[in-house]
């Protein structure tokens, strides 16, 4: 068990570092092998070939200097020494001079990129075993080497090309340039493939929010084209289902309204006797409730099938709902910004909020409407000071014809949740600051 927790922490850290988008992860899968290939190639070349070449160049140079010093010791005459130095310059391309009686100062060595300076220092140390200075910085064309001799200092100006393996930089530029070119081509192709997937995702999200964007053009890889084609077929089937549902409900409306009208007529023609007056009133109320539920559901179904989403000022919609509730005698307060615009089916959202407000004013004295935007979400709350609903029964009231806290039945909350979910949002019931029930609607911007 102690080993599991660190593993989870490491996995969580890796997930935070890794890109979340498909394009980012695809490019990472391409980039990692390229970087690994470059690292291996550079290590093999830089760690073996360049080291060997630098070691051999440095060894050859040091042996040439040692050979020159041996000749000068064998022929100590000044004229012979001058001739030997001239021949070294001609044969070895080394500009050498002797500074009699000089002493090398203690200088901190400097490092350059590459193994050349380390290999030269190692060769000088092994060959002479004396103090020396190798200056790679002062002269851009030459390396200035100074060696402490027993009675003098030998100064050698070595052409940098004799110690520098120029092919290394060509190799680095080549491998990095080709890798960058291949990565750019791969990124271009991957972006085109991901663009088709993003378009499919946007179309699916828009369709889930009830926006009719029409069929999307299949493009990209074969699998993406198949997904786009399947999505277009699904859109068509859903639209066909909505049309069929509307037609079916229109037929149900025609079939139900006729017997309801006969019932209403029969109740109106019953004799007004005191012993049946209460029963007639209750049956009339039931008939009216049935007509109201049928009309509301038919209006919801027809609106869902025909209404298109457009930019709507949600604050204005809330003011209209509040004004309608006030005309019915309710006390409704509205707290919303002046302009809160988002893409909605205005009539459907108005119907959903109206259902919530009507439900609240039937059970309470005060109703409060509020709206605010937080990031990419908009929250609409409907608060009341009524009896509320116990937490364990809040989910059940969204079921069709489920009894609410006052004993009523209907489709109001069911329709409201269907409308909100059709916009890609959600509706939940909570405790209200007013002491009753709060209905919180969450809508995406």
What confidence tens digit (pLDDT) does each residue in 188-225 have?
888 877 888 888 888 887 777 666 777 888 887 788 88
Which residue ranges does the chain devote to CATH 3.30.565.10?
A: 310-445
Burial class for 13, CB neighbours closer than 10 Å (0-12, 13-18, 19+)? exposed
Indicate if the pLDDT at residue 424 is higher than 70.
yes
Q: Of residues 322 and 408, which shows the higher confidence score?
A: 322
Name the nearest CA neighbour of 85 among 38, 16, 154, 176.
Answer: 154
pLDDT of 63 reads 92
Contacts of 384 (CB under 8 A, 6+ apart): 360, 361, 363, 364, 366, 367, 368, 432, 434, 436, 437, 438
- Per-residue pLDDT at 14: 66
Question: What pLDDT sits at residue 10?
Answer: 61
- Region 22-51 average pLDDT: 75
Mean per-residue pLDDT for 168-194?
80
Percent of the chain past pLDDT 70, that is, above it, reads 85
Q: How much is the pLDDT for 35?
A: 80
Q: Residue 402 — pLDDT band, cuts 50, 70, 90? A: low
User: Which CATH number does 310-445 carry?
Assistant: 3.30.565.10
User: Per-residue pLDDT for 254 more than 80?
Assistant: no
DSSP string, 32-69: HHHHHHHHHHHHHIIIIIHHHHHHHHHHHHHHHHHHHH
Work out the widest C-alpha separation in the chain, in whole angstroms.
Answer: 153
Whether pLDDT at 299 is above 70 = no
For residue 259, CA distances in Å to 39, 285, 291, 314 come to 84, 15, 11, 40
Assign domain 20-168 to its CATH architecture: 2-Layer Sandwich (3.30)
- Which pLDDT tens digit goes with each residue over 52-61? 888 888 899 9
Q: Residue 161: which of 308, 11, 57, 280 has the closest Cα?
A: 57
The percent of residues above 90 in pLDDT, for the chain, comes to 3
Query: What does the angle CA 198 – CA 204 – CA 206 come to, to the nearest 5 degrees?
Result: 100
Confirm if 99 and 153 have CB atoms less than 8 A apart: yes
Q: Which of 1-10, 50-59, 327-336, 434-443 has the lowest mean pLDDT?
A: 1-10
Where exactly does CATH 1.10.287.130 map onto the chain? Answer: 209-306
Which pLDDT does position 1 carry in this prediction? 42
pLDDT of residue 222: 81
pLDDT at 388: 84
Mean pLDDT value of segment 109-115? 76
> Where is mean pLDDT largest: 72-81, 159-168, 412-421?
72-81
Instruction: Answer with the residue of higher pLDDT: 347 or 146.
Output: 146
Residue 291's pLDDT band (cuts 50, 70, 90) = confident
| Paired tokens of 165 | 């393996």
Mean pLDDT score, 82-95: 89
CATH dotted code for 209-306: 1.10.287.130
> What pLDDT is attached to residue 31?
78
Closest residue by Cα to residue 382 from 311, 314, 332: 332
| pLDDT reported for residue 6 | 65
- Which of the two residues, 172 and 356, has the higher pLDDT score? 356
Tell me the C-alpha distance between 382 and 388, whole Å: 12
pLDDT at 43 over 50: yes
Mean pLDDT of the chain: 80
Tokens of 399: 């079921």
Q: What is the pTM of this model?
A: 0.49
Banded pLDDT at 49 (limits 50, 70, 90): confident
For residue 64, pLDDT over 80 is answered with: yes
């Amino acid at each position: 068990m102690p080993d599991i927790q660190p593993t989870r922490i490491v996995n969580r850290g890796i997930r935070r570092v890794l890109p979340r988008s498909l394009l980012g992860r695809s490019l990472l899968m391409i980039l990692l092998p390229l970087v690994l290939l470059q690292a291996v190639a550079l290590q093999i070349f830089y760690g073996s070939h360049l080291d060997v070449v630098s070691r051999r160049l440095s060894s050859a140079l040091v042996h040439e200097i040692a050979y020159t010093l041996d000749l000068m010791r064998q022929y100590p005459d000044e004229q012979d020494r001058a001739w030997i130095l001239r021949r070294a310059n001609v044969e070895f391309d080394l500009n050498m001079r002797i500074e009699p009686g000089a002493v090398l100062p203690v200088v901190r060595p400097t490092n350059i990129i590459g193994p050349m300076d380390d290999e030269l220092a190692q060769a000088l140390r092994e060959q002479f075993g004396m103090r020396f200075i190798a200056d790679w910085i002062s002269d851009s064309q030459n390396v200035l080497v100074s060696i402490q001799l027993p009675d003098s200092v030998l100064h050698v100006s070595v052409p940098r090309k004799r110690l520098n393996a120029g092919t290394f930089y060509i190799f680095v530029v080549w491998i990095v340039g080709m890798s960058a070119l291949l990565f750019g081509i791969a990124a271009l192709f991957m972006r085109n493939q991901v663009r088709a997937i993003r378009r499919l995702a946007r179309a699916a999200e828009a369709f889930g929010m009830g926006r009719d964007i029409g069929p999307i053009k299949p493009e990209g890889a074969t699998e993406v084209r198949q997904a786009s084609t399947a999505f277009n077929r699904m859109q068509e089937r859903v639209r066909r289902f909505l049309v069929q549902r509307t037609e079916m409900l229109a037929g149900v409306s025609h079939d139900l309204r006729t017997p309801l009208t006969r019932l209403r007529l029969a109740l109106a023609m019953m004799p007004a006797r005191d012993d049946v007056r209460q029963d007639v009133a209750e049956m009339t109320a039931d008939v009216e409730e049935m007509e109201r539920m049928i009309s509301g559901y038919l209006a919801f179904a027809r609106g869902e099938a025909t209404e298109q989403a457009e930019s709507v000022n949600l604050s204005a919609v809330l003011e209209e709902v509040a004004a309608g509730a006030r005309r019915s005698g309710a006390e409704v307060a509205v707290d919303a910004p002046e302009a809160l615009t988002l893409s909605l089916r205005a009539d459907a959202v108005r119907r959903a909020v109206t259902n919530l407000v009507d439900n609240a004013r039937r059970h309470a004295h005060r109703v409060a409407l509020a709206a605010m935007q937080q990031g990419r979400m908009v929250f609409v709350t409907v608060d009341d000071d009524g009896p509320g609903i116990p937490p364990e029964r809040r989910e059940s009231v969204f079921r069709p014809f489920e009894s609410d806290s006052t004993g009523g039945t209907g489709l109001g909350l069911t329709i409201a949740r269907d409308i909100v979910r059709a916009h890609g949002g959600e509706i939940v019931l909570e405790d209200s600051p007013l002491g009753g029930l709060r209905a919180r609607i969450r809508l995406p911007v």
